[in-house]
Amino acid sequence: MAKNNTKNIKRDKNGRFAKGSQAQKGNITNPTGKGGFKDHPENKSNGYWNSEDSISFQYKYLIKKTVDEFKKWMKDIPEKERTIAQELAYQSVIKARKDLAYLKEVTDRTEGKASQSIDMTSGGEPIPLFDYVKKKK
């Protein structure tokens, strides 16, 4: 278990790290283990987020593959070894191949929504934005 070095950690009134204070890798700021990290250190992230655990990463990863590579991935990573993010992305890609609405959803999630223009006219005339400003006499 990592050494508990909390003497240099200061927190503000909301519990966030105060300016100039930060946790160090391997630091356990919950010495009582409340929350389960004492009993289950494998669940502790040390503050790092792994992008590969996200569904959007898995979407992008799978849709870049050729059909043959996708089939090989299905064999190499059987269902019992997939993370939930991998399984959800896999199911979404399969469904998107057959359903246009689902394809739009996956594309919006991976590429971003398409831009939409807004008509800023009123009855064919531009909307007056500065008519309400009083003129100096």
- Please write the tens of the pLDDT for every residue from 46-94: 667 778 888 888 988 998 999 999 999 999 999 899 999 899 999 988 8
pLDDT greater at residue 4 or residue 119: 119
- Report how far residue 73's alpha carbon sits from residue 61's, in angstroms, rounded to the nearest whole number: 11
Q: Which residue has the higher pLDDT, 83 or 11?
A: 83
DSSP code per residue over 29-69: S-TT-TTSTTT-GGG--TT---GGGSHHHHHHHHHTS-HHH
CB contact at 8 A, 65 and 73: yes
Q: Please tell me the predicted confidence (pLDDT) of residue 2.
A: 46
C-alpha to C-alpha distance for 3 and 11, rounded to whole angstroms: 19
